[in-house]
């Protein structure tokens, strides 16, 4: 695995994602333990983008259970279909919430969080976890984040299939 990240400071958000993706690939390369990879990807995204909260919830029976994350303490369990995370799981799609105050059923783990993006992670066509990223800014996430966070999740999915 890579020992450290080289984080560009002057690029656009898209350039930053493009520069970091190969580094994220190297970071999890050769490691097949899912918790170890979730932990390092959480840390890498937090370190690179200063997101307010970034982490994973893992499917366990009918709910999501808190996994590796970086940020303030968080809710530990989310039911299927509940909140932004449970919605992304149920609908099997990326969910972007520009303003969490306007998302019915949003689960507020920290009142500072204002916008959110959730990307489901699949194994054999089933959602087995979600990547959740929160910002303290309204309307922080757009299609660029959706595209590249999806690619980060794809890297993790590929590491699972090698396990």
Return the residue nearest ligand SME (CB atom). 83
Secondary structure of the chain as H, E, C letters: CCCCCCCCCCCCHHHHHHHHHHHHHHHHCCCCCHHHHHHHHHHHHHHHHCCCEEEEEEEECCEEEEEEEECCCCCCEEECCCHHHHHHHHHCCCEEECCHHHCCCCCCCCCCCCEEEEEEEEECCEEEEEEEEEECCCCCCCHHHHHHHHHHHHHHHHHHHCC
Q: Which residues bind ligand SME (CB under 6 A)?
A: 53, 74-75, 78, 83-85, 106-107, 109, 113, 116, 132, 134
Q: Which of 16, 106 has the CB closer to ligand SME?
A: 106
Please, which residue, 132 or 145, has the CB nearer to ligand SME?
132
Cβ nearer to ligand SME, comparing 7 with 83: 83
To ligand SME, the closest distance from the beta carbon of 162 in angstroms equals: 28
Tell me how far, at minimum, the Cβ of 26 lies from ligand SME, in Å.
27
User: Least distance from C-beta 116 to ligand SME, angstroms?
Assistant: 6
- Shortest distance, CB of residue 92 to ligand SME, whole angstroms? 15
């Amino acid at each position: 695995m890579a020992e450290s990240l080289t984080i560009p400071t002057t690029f656009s958000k898209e350039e930053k994602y493009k520069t970091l993706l190969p580094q994220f690939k190297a970071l999890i390369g050769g490691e097949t333990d899912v918790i170890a990879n979730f932990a390092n990807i959480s840390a890498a995204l937090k370190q690179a983008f200063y997101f307010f909260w970034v982490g994973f919830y893992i499917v366990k029976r009918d709910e999501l259970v808190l996994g590796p994350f970086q940020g303030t303490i968080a809710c530990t369990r989310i039911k299927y279909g509940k909140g932004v995370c449970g919605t992304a799981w149920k609908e099997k799609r990326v969910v972007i919430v520009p303003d969490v105050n306007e998302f019915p059923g949003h689960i507020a783990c920290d009142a500072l969080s204002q916008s959110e993006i959730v990307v489901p992670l699949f194994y054999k066509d089933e959602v087995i976890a979600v990547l959740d990223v929160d910002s303290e800014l309204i309307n922080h996430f757009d299609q660029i984040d959706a595209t590249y966070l999806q690619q980060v999740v794809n890297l993790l999915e590929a590491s699972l299939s090698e396990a």
